[in-house]
Amino acid sequence: MGLALPDIERVLAAARSGALGAALTTEGLARAHLGALREGLGALIGAPVDTVVRVLAAVREERLRPPATRVALVWTGPETRGSGARDTAVVVREMFEAAERHVLIAGYSFERGGVGILAPLHAAMRDRGVGVEMFVHLREATGVQADPEGYLRAQAEAWRRTYWPFGEPVPTLYVDPRAATAGSYASLHAKCIVVDGERALVGSANFTDRGQSRNIEAGVLVEDARFAEELARQFHDAVGAGLFVGV
């Protein structure tokens, strides 16, 4: 179909009004001042108008359909000359800078001081009121804790001092309560970002200079609201089930 969307809509309007008659003909198009579109209509010339309407309506719907899921390879480390991968550090910064409402992060390891990587996220919180939830790994207790909740709170405060030097506003932290149990050998090892429920990054790179600039790491940037919402819901449902706790 060689017609632009506005031309498809013009032909549809003429067909539905009866201006083209019972069948699509060159003469009918000329009477409706659409003669210049004959070539673009191709094999539809001579077809019954109701058939033309069905075909053009289907083409119009296809043209107006939201774009398919966009997926891009994200990479840290050396690349071949022809690589089309996007740089991890660049993608992470762009996602933080573009956030308008909400960011969810899950990560195992973060850069001490956090300035280079997390600074754009803090700016989004400060300047645009973006809400941030961070699911982070805490060091496991080395012995029996008389106050497991107190241990988690203390470790979370130590995490903030080490990895979030910016002060207010601060993200909501969620942690695995098993960190308060010695010998659990459980790690929050996921590395992902969800921004505004519309796009998500999932990969192997930690939120560290090594992970984002020097190691060899691979990830996938998925621009699809359904996937982004499902990934965020996975974490939120885990909170609801008590598998993560806010601290």
β partners of residue 175:
245
pLDDT at position 1 over 60: no
Question: What pLDDT does 67 receive?
Answer: 67
Q: What local confidence, expressed as pLDDT, does residue 236 receive? A: 97
Q: Enter the pTM of the model.
A: 0.73
Comparing 33 with 220, the larger pLDDT belongs to 220
pLDDT score for 218:
97
Residue 184: the pLDDT is 86
User: What ranges do the domains of the chain cover?
Assistant: 5-64, 70-246
Q: Round the average pLDDT of the chain to a whole number and report it.
A: 93
Rank 66-75, 85-94, 105-114 by mean pLDDT and report only the highest.
Answer: 85-94
pLDDT digits (tens, 9 = 90+) for 148-175: 999 999 999 999 999 999 999 999 999 9
pLDDT score recorded for residue 64: 83
Q: Taking the CB of residue 88, how many other CB atoms lie within 10 A of it?
A: 24
Task: Give the integer Cα–Cα distance in Å for 56 and 135.
Answer: 49
3-state secondary structure 43-102: HHCCCEHHHHHHHHHHHHHHHHCCCCCEEEEEEECCCCCCCCCEEHHHHHHHHHHHCCCE
pLDDT band at 235 (very low <50, low <70, confident <90, very high): very high
Q: Decide which of 3.30.160.60, 3.30.870.10, 3.40.50.1820, 4.10.140.10 is the CATH code for 70-246.
A: 3.30.870.10
**End-to-end alpha carbon distance in the chain:** 58
Residue 209: pLDDT band (50, 70, 90) is very high
Average of per-residue pLDDT across 108-122: 91
Q: Rounded to whole angstroms, how far apart are CA atoms 221 and 29?
A: 47
State which amino acid sits at residue 138: L
At 122, which helix (H) or strand (E)? helix 115-128
Provide CB contacts within 8 A for 233, sequence distance 6+.
Answer: none
* CB 217, CB 75: distance < 8 Å: yes
